[in-house]
């Protein structure tokens, strides 16, 4: 009976801890003006008060994107930059994504379009504008998403 109870506690602990992290979620990356589709893997790690999002590219690890979202402060930390939440929201069909921007450079807006449960849907103004989706889309849908994002970023 004692072994059964220990086994049950161990199984419950494994299920609870596995729910905190998600690994190897397939993500499709699209760049503005490019027809090539990038296949990435997303890993999400949750540790209080941070949620870490790792976008991993199979062929070029230098292009990996690592973000740390501070749940309490509602900021995103990427490399040495801190992105602060703006008042702007990008409404998709089912979710409202928040927009985060750098405060130090107002001439060139660098923006993450982000939801804390799913990560970034777009990175804009980094030299290469990108969107990240869980599903594959047609080139026309991709261009529509980019246009819609730019309109929402530029609304004052």
Q: How far apart are CA 68 and CA 126, in angstroms?
A: 18
Over residues 137-151, mean pLDDT: 91
Over residues 102-109, mean pLDDT: 70
Closest CA to 87 of 96, 76, 77, 78: 96
Contact 90, 149 (CB under 8 A): yes
Closest CA to 41 of 52, 26, 30: 26
Produce one character per residue of 18-27: b if its CB has 16 or more CB atoms within 10 Å, e if not. Answer: eeeeeeeeeb
Q: In sequence order, which residues have a C-beta less than 8 Å from that of residue 12 and are 6 or more positions away?
A: none
Residue 53 pLDDT grade (very low, low, confident, very high; cuts 50, 70, 90): very high
The residue among 75 and 102 whose pLDDT is bigger is: 75
CB atoms under 10 Å from CB of 152, counted, come to 17
Q: How far apart are CA 43 and CA 119, in angstroms?
A: 10
Provide the mean pLDDT of the chain: 82
In tens, the pLDDT along 15-36 reads 444 446 889 899 999 998 888 8
Q: Report the predicted TM-score, pTM, of the whole model to 2 decimal places.
A: 0.78
Residue 4 pLDDT: 40
Q: Would you say residue 102 has pLDDT above 90?
A: no
Residue 94 pLDDT grade (very low, low, confident, very high; cuts 50, 70, 90): confident
Give me the residue spans of the domains in the chain.
21-154
Q: How far apart are CA 53 and CA 1, in angstroms?
A: 41
Q: How far apart are CA 51 and CA 99, in angstroms?
A: 17
Residue 106 pLDDT: 62
């Amino acid at each position: 009976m004692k072994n059964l109870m220990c086994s049950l506690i161990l199984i419950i602990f494994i299920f609870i801890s596995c729910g905190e992290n998600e690994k190897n979620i397939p993500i499709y990356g699209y760049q503005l003006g490019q027809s090539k589709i990038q296949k990435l893997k997303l890993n999400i790690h949750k540790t209080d008060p941070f949620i870490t999002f790792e976008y991993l590219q199979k062929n070029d690890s230098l292009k990996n994107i690592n973000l740390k979202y501070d749940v309490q402060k509602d900021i995103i930390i990427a490399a040495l930059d801190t992105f602060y939440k703006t008042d702007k929201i990008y409404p998709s069909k089912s979710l409202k994504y928040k927009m985060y921007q750098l405060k130090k450079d107002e001439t060139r807006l660098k923006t993450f379009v982000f939801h804390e449960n799913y990560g970034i849907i777009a990175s804009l103004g980094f030299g290469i504008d990108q969107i990240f989706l869980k599903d594959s889309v047609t080139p026309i849908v991709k261009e529509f998403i980019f246009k819609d994002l730019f309109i929402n970023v530029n609304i004052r």
